[in-house]
Structure 1
Amino acid sequence: MKFFWIGLFLSLFGYQSFSQNTDKNTLSGTVESETGDALEGAYVKINGKFFWTSSNGKYTAQLIDGLHEVHVTMIGYESVDTVVKLDQDLQLDFKLSPSVTGLEEVLLEGHEHKKTSQQVLYVDNEFIENQFSGSLASTLERMPGFNAMQIGSGASKPIIRGLGLNRVAVAENGIKQEGQQWGADHGLEIDALQVENLEIVKGVGSIAYGSDAIGGVVRIKNNTTPSEGFSGNVYSFAQSVNNSLGSSVKLSYSQDDWFIKGKFTGISFGDYSLPAEEISYLNFNIPIYDEKLKNTAGKELDWYGQAGIIKDNFSSSLSISKVYQKSGFFPGSHGIPDISRVQPDGDARNIEEPFQRVTHFKVISNSNFIYENGELDLDIAYQRNHRQEWSLFHTHYSGQEPPEVNPNLELDFDLHTYSTRAIYHHNFNRDHETQVGVDLQWKDNDISGFNFLLPEYQAGNYALFAIHEYKASANNLWSFGLRFDYGIIDMEGYYDPNLYEYLIGRNQPEETARAYAQRSEDLNRDFSSLNARMGWDHSFNKNWSTKINVGTAFRLPTAIELGANGIHHGSFRHEQGDPNLDPEQGFMADLNLSFVKDSWNISISPYAYFFSNYIFLKPTGTFSVLPHSGQLFKYTESEAILTGLELAVDKEFGRWHFSLAGEYLYNQQLTSDRSRNFPLPFTPANNLFTEVGYKLFQDSGVFNLSELSINNRLMMEQDRIAQGEEITTGYALWGLGWQNRLNINGFKASVNLRVDNLLNERYFNHTSFYRRLQIPEMGRNIQLNIKIPFGGS
């Protein structure tokens, strides 16, 4: 914790002792389309440093005197390059010509942004708002190599290249999001509608972000400087499948060298519809009344505030946010199924027990100090993730009394995280840049509730890393990274007297009963890991380019993997940790080959991972001693391989555009007994997404960028399953979309109408939380989104 307060002090007061004598001038201007519309979120790259345009298309940069290379890009438009000589304040405006449209908004690779050897997908706020599907991960699902682990209709979590849970890091403004990521029933506590820009790094991101980034990183950037004056917008949506209603309001004000921003989101949804009249679970036939899944309603209330200051050689911002989510669990998902519990209660929007409630509070300080040949980024953060699962008190033992306080609180996890991250960038010359960083984190997790799953613990992670980039030529960029991590974890033991009495009452020997009643032992362990990565970005010519990465990957075992020992109703089984697990270690290699010409944009990406000790939950084949718990699942480690191939194609034919994104996945355990080499759990099926769009009203002054599209998501049968999983049949989902930008006598609005699962297909998602209950996914959904901007100059 002391590192947090030291870093915060440096961030807030370091500027007072920092000064530069270098003369600087202001380069500013606007980025617009050929029709004069401001382009928000365009990249303006100046000598390797990036700036984003505001909602009015404006950018501002403080630069030293001399020559500067300026590169302007906006997905969907042709890029512009120029060189300017700066010896006084200068205004430089750009007009960009349209290029390909559609999925290229997220599929254009790193050569259209900051040149990097890693494979990166770029997403802006406009794409998220147009494709919003109730949560951030589900909104991004149409990209190759990216899937969502669904948790009802209002929550999900990301899967990259078949890796999810604790193997994908999510970072906001440089700080890793910390919650209870290990749970299949735990969503991502991020407000998708407040995201300004986002990058998805596919492949190992461990060098920069450490443990949990073994599959990739979702980098959220909420630090765009707003345009001068007051501006904002209102975004509202409605969904038919769960009668969802939501609105998000964004406000900003900027003047001279300071700005403030505020964002507010409220969402309410009811029980969702599914094309089924009955489900079968644990040999029970459970009716689904009115094709509504009872008690899957929920609500969300989020707010975000940011204030910042921008000086010639220093900038700093302070962001404070809170995400509150509450959603019900289908009653059959907790405890033994009971038909009486799923009968309709006449209110499709109420939230009864069992339900989950989570609050994520976050404070992030970002500061940037600019020197003559480098700069220092200092990020300080505090997070509190408070997650609760509520269920009517029920006991598996005779004589267990409900708690006096909150008797229906089943599980309570209260996680406090303190983070400090500092990176110094040094430019030796135009061809060599080195980053040296320190990454410090401390976590404290408290528990309560009438059920036990995870002991209390404290954990720390301390890391040093360095990344060097060498631009060997205009067509070759080499990247080298090295990172050392040292982690500690201190877990408290837990003794269960009720279990002891239960086992004694069933004539178990006293020694056996005492051993099982000690649900977890005191545990104090430390871990270390040294990892490296090398990457190469090469352009063969103006049409062909490639990226190659090789390196090692690691992940420290988590508290749930080391110390879990209880019935996890969220996963419908008894889960038990192994205190002797080692850090997960792997080797990876990936390749990307891209072709761009005449509005063709084709990308193919094969990759392979080898893990010496992949950690996963494995059924033991024995029944748990805990009552009503079924088979015991234990965290174990095994050699494993994971490989796959991603394909993306975009093409424009006049008014038509065509997009395709496909993914093939293959993984397997490697053991001495080949007959036991099962696939890894939670692996998405091979899939293909295609979309065809047609531009309408190109000569209209009212309808701008109007497009009608039809899409299809094809999921293959998933018959390569882990132990304890069931085969999931394939399916094909059709969808329609119509998006418009209206301009009626100066009144501007974006209106998007979308229909998902057009044919009301009955299907199962292999990675869904409700898959184990044989519950199909949501039925046909009609969604309307409207965004109205206001203010600005």
Structure 2
Amino acid sequence: MQQKSFLVLCLLLAGITGFSQNKISGIITHVKRQPLNGAHIHIADKSTATNPAGRFEIKNIPSGKTRLIVSYIGYRTIDTLLTITDDISVSFTMKPDISALKEVVISKAAQPQSTKNSEKVNQNYIQESYAGSFAKSLEKLPGVNAMEIGAGTSKPIIRGLGFNRIAVTENGIKQEGQQWGADHGLEIDAFNAENVEIVKGVGAIEYGSDAMGGVISINNEAVPSPNSFSGQALAIAKSVNNTIGTSVGIQYRKDHFFYKLKGTVLDFGDYKVPTDEILYLNTHIPVYNQTLKNTAGRETDFFGQVGYIDKKFKSTLSISNVYFKSGFFPGAHGIPSIAAVQDDGDDRNIGLPYQRVNHFKIINNNQWSFQNSQLNASVSFQNNHRQEWSKFHTHYSNQQPPEVNPDLELDFNLSTLDAQLKYKYNWSVAHQTTVGIQNQYQSNTIDGYSFLLPKFTRNAIGAYAIHDYTVSQKLKLNAGIRFDRAQIAIDKFFDQTLYDYLTGNGQSPAVANFYAERSRDIDKNFSSFNASVGMGYKMNDSWNLTATIGSNFRFPTAIELSANGIHHGAFRHEMGDATLDPEKGISFDTKLSYTKNNFKAAFSPYAYYFSNYIFLKPSGQFSILPHGGQIYQYSQSEALLSGFEVSLEKRFLDRITAEVVLEYLYNRQVTSDSSKDYPLPFTPPANGYWEIGYNFKSSKIFTNAVVSVNGRTALEQDRIAQNELITPGYSIFGGAVKSDIKLGSFLANVQLSVNNAFNTKYFNHNSYYRALEIPEMGRNIQLLIRIPFGKASHE
């Protein structure tokens, strides 16, 4: 059935597409053909200024006629009309005399292309696609998946690579938390993301370790227009877990100074699943009322930013805090217990066991613009504090509860200092060089009556250089090199309680010492040199090609080097290996795109080769720890990853919009014994998403009204890693209706959507709960109301 659904989905590729916002970019020069730095560009209610290369870019421009104004002190103003049907590139020369106002019709001007394979979305997209968490809200994009961890937490996966192989940055600073854990989410406020770029392929040159699979770059530094005040109030409600929430933001700018304030509060109950029981450690656990007990939670987020801007200097200071607390389903935590899942009559309480995470971040970014160059300096501090609370229980008869916080099972407190310096020089309109240096220091402390991750410190420094060469209006080349060095010091942790327990049960001192030494003193240094080259080529007004090839790397984490104990969140005994080397690989990525009139298509094949991919391998040796099961050892192997993505978008008759996205991924280990060339873990199956919408004619009250239907199909995933389960294929369907509503001076945007409309029982192969036979959430009806106020505009 799933194969037939997938085939039907493929057949839709011939002529289906969706609507996206337009972008205007270009270059401003003076009569001597030299770039003008600081020229002001005004389009509708948006504005910006050219950079030292004379270039500018303004996004989210609606189709149709729009007025463009270019002004610069000492030059005559350019005032013209553009008819926008797609992304365009323009160039203007500032002259002493003014031209008459005229209409310019441009569909897709020839322009140098970026060498990156990337997807860009704005705040409206994130909000309209909101699915409970930031990573889950990006799943409609080609190549992007999410590993779900309950109803409000998830972590991103790009082309099957996640955890510490994906770099997530906010305002240029890499988000640092407990990314290694399958049960640890990404602490990002989805409603605070103003602009997001997903870079696929080679990302290690500018971002360093953890960017092997790609980069998700969040930018919250859009500058409000002078003398403006605006904001937005948002309310959200969801049926699947009775979510209620709100997010409010304001921004103000007088002249040079500006500020932004944003806050989000979400409260949700236990979430519903279309099943009556699950299987945990060979025990059938009932799910009463098809609701997972103790999965309720709450989230409270804050973001504040103050800034200063003039023609030569820009500075921002951003402070954010994300707090999240949610329960763990007691039927899938610790020793199986049917009594623990009995309905308590309260679907909003958070009892033991639960997790509590707080992520605090402060970032200062500074930018100086000179005649032909630009200097950026950034410094940041962030603290990720994660706790797991569970009623004190012990697997050892001699272990006593701690006197303080006896129910605190695990406590990780990671502090990160980051400093960056980047200098960009424009040799000419055609040549631009960027050099940078980055330094990061981390310190992690631990607490709790269980042990998983040791205390450690880490210091890393990296330097890079990137050169961009615009050969012509159609061809752009890019090359980069990078060198990194990191030092990690891991503290020894000896579990005397465990040692006494094992020797008291007849184990030899040598065996007891092996298991009780949960972490050894480790002091290691790593280094890596990497390079990449890229090309962007515009064949004609319709066809574009980008291609990148380069090396990448990732330094081993503390958990991979030194773990030795039961990871209850992953349901197994994990053991590190202090001899692990840095992961290294080569990536090739290309994207061929076609755009004409109201049709867009893109085909993006890729291939990654890793010389020493780090993964958890079943050792075949069973742990002597109580309820330890088989030991999973961190190991290394050659690995191959390849696949492709296809996306199609089309508009019919100016009323019907449609979109299809397909993706296929193949990977495996590469060993001397081909019978052991297992697939890599958390590999998304071949899957596709489609959506068809109808745009209604506007009225006095309702404008931009759209009704849509959508569906997602995934094939069976039977190419599985050694410790995974085969995941059946599925097809689910949904829909939405949204519109702007105007009553006098009051304006609001309302969206009502439904996901998994037929309450289908299906499994996400990448879900944290997949191993427990817990299906994805059931039918969900979501209401989103956005009310803007003031006059919003950004430079």
The one-letter code matched in structure 2 to 1:129 is Q
1:226 corresponding residue in structure 2:
224
Structure 2: tracts of 5 or more residues without a match = 1-33
The one-letter code matched in structure 2 to 1:188 is L
The one-letter code matched in structure 2 to 1:691 is E
Secondary structure of 1:400's aligned partner: coil
The one-letter code matched in structure 2 to 1:756 is N
Residues 701-754 of structure 1 deviation map (CA, whole Å, 9 limit, x = unaligned): 222111111111001110000001000000001010111112221211111110
1:379 corresponding residue in structure 2:
378
1:528 corresponding residue in structure 2:
527
Structure 1: tracts of 5 or more residues without a match = 1-21, 33-37, 100-107
Report the CA distance between 1:332 and its aligned residue: 2.0
1:584 corresponding residue in structure 2:
583
Secondary structure of 2:471's aligned partner: strand
Instruction: Indicate yes or no: 2:432 matched with 1:423.
Output: no
The one-letter code matched in structure 1 to 2:94 is K
Choose between structure 1 and 2 for higher RCO, CA contacts under 8 A separated by at least 6 residues. 2
The one-letter code matched in structure 2 to 1:168 is I
Report the CA distance between 1:673 and its aligned residue: 1.4
1:623 corresponding residue in structure 2:
622
Q: What is the rounded CA distance, in whole Å, between the counterparts of 1:354 and 1:415 in structure 2?
A: 22
Q: What is the rounded CA distance, in whole Å, between the counterparts of 1:76 and 1:187 in structure 2?
A: 39
8 A Cα contact 1:124 1:198, kept in partner: yes
Report the CA distance between 1:72 and its aligned residue: 12
1:208 corresponding residue in structure 2:
206
Q: What is the rounded CA distance, in whole Å, between the counterparts of 2:244 and 2:46 in structure 1?
A: 29
Are the structure 2 counterparts of residues 559 and 64 from structure 1 closer, same or farther at C-alpha, using a change threshold of 3 Å?
farther
Secondary structure of 1:129's aligned partner: helix
1:570 corresponding residue in structure 2:
569
Are the structure 2 counterparts of residues 66 and 575 from structure 1 closer, same or farther at C-alpha, using a change threshold of 3 Å?
farther
Report the CA distance between 1:536 and its aligned residue: 0.6
Within a 5 Å distance, the mapping from 1:480-519 to structure 2 comes to 480-519=479-518
Within a 5 Å distance, the mapping from 1:142-161 to structure 2 comes to 142-161=140-159
Are the structure 2 counterparts of residues 598 and 75 from structure 1 closer, same or farther at C-alpha, using a change threshold of 3 Å?
closer
Report the CA distance between 1:23 and its aligned residue: 14
The one-letter code matched in structure 2 to 1:472 is V
Are the structure 2 counterparts of residues 259 and 53 from structure 1 closer, same or farther at C-alpha, using a change threshold of 3 Å?
farther
Within a 5 Å distance, the mapping from 1:3-402 to structure 2 comes to 27-28=39-40, 30-32=42-44, 38=45, 47=53, 49-50=55-56, 77-79=86-88, 81-85=90-94, 115-227=113-225, 228-402=227-401
8 A Cα contact 2:273 2:776, kept in partner: yes
**Which stretches of structure 1, 4 residues or longer, exceed 6 Å deviation after superposition?**
22-26, 42-46, 53-76, 90-99, 111-114
1:4 corresponding residue in structure 2:
none
Instruction: Indicate yes or no: 2:555 matched with 1:556.
Output: yes
2:593 corresponding residue in structure 1:
594
Instruction: Indicate yes or no: 2:466 matched with 1:454.
Output: no
The one-letter code matched in structure 2 to 1:137 is A
TM-score (norm. length: structure 1): 0.90
Instruction: Indicate yes or no: 2:470 matched with 1:471.
Output: yes
Q: What is the rounded CA distance, in whole Å, between the counterparts of 1:541 and 1:29 in structure 2?
A: 27
2:676 corresponding residue in structure 1:
676
Residues 305-359 of structure 1 deviation map (CA, whole Å, 9 limit, x = unaligned): 0000002211100000000000111112221110110011111011111111100
8 A Cα contact 1:295 1:350, kept in partner: yes
8 A Cα contact 2:196 2:219, kept in partner: yes
2:663 corresponding residue in structure 1:
663
The one-letter code matched in structure 1 to 2:195 is N
Secondary structure of 2:324's aligned partner: strand
Secondary structure of 2:619's aligned partner: strand
The one-letter code matched in structure 2 to 1:450 is Y
Q: What is the rounded CA distance, in whole Å, between the counterparts of 2:467 and 2:111 in structure 1?
A: 18
Secondary structure of 1:347's aligned partner: coil
8 A Cα contact 2:716 2:729, kept in partner: yes
Report the CA distance between 1:115 and its aligned residue: 3.8
8 A Cα contact 1:25 1:64, kept in partner: no
Residues 142-165 of structure 1 deviation map (CA, whole Å, 9 limit, x = unaligned): 111000000101010100011001
Secondary structure of 1:473's aligned partner: coil
Instruction: Indicate yes or no: 2:408 matched with 1:409.
Output: yes
Report the CA distance between 1:591 and its aligned residue: 1.4
Residues 406-431 of structure 1 deviation map (CA, whole Å, 9 limit, x = unaligned): 11111100000000111100000000
Secondary structure of 1:186's aligned partner: coil
Are the structure 2 counterparts of residues 534 and 23 from structure 1 closer, same or farther at C-alpha, using a change threshold of 3 Å?
closer
Q: What is the rounded CA distance, in whole Å, between the counterparts of 1:23 and 1:200 in structure 2?
A: 29
Q: What is the rounded CA distance, in whole Å, between the counterparts of 1:297 and 1:92 in structure 2?
A: 63
Q: What is the rounded CA distance, in whole Å, between the counterparts of 1:76 and 1:311 in structure 2?
A: 33
Q: What is the rounded CA distance, in whole Å, between the counterparts of 1:601 and 1:71 in structure 2?
A: 27
Are the structure 2 counterparts of residues 712 and 321 from structure 1 closer, same or farther at C-alpha, using a change threshold of 3 Å?
same
Report the CA distance between 1:516 and its aligned residue: 2.2
8 A Cα contact 1:43 1:73, kept in partner: no
Report the CA distance between 1:97 and its aligned residue: 9.6
2:9 corresponding residue in structure 1:
none
Residues 279-300 of structure 1 deviation map (CA, whole Å, 9 limit, x = unaligned): 1222211111111011111100
Are the structure 2 counterparts of residues 28 and 93 from structure 1 closer, same or farther at C-alpha, using a change threshold of 3 Å?
farther
8 A Cα contact 1:31 1:53, kept in partner: no
8 A Cα contact 2:82 2:103, kept in partner: no
Are the structure 2 counterparts of residues 391 and 114 from structure 1 closer, same or farther at C-alpha, using a change threshold of 3 Å?
farther
8 A Cα contact 2:490 2:521, kept in partner: yes
Report the CA distance between 1:379 and its aligned residue: 1.2
The one-letter code matched in structure 1 to 2:88 is S
8 A Cα contact 1:492 1:521, kept in partner: yes
Report the CA distance between 1:501 and its aligned residue: 1.1
1:13 corresponding residue in structure 2:
none
Report the CA distance between 1:658 and its aligned residue: 1.4
Are the structure 2 counterparts of residues 256 and 55 from structure 1 closer, same or farther at C-alpha, using a change threshold of 3 Å?
farther
Are the structure 2 counterparts of residues 289 and 71 from structure 1 closer, same or farther at C-alpha, using a change threshold of 3 Å?
farther
The one-letter code matched in structure 2 to 1:634 is Q
8 A Cα contact 2:112 2:538, kept in partner: no
Residues 636-660 of structure 1 deviation map (CA, whole Å, 9 limit, x = unaligned): 1000100001000001111111101
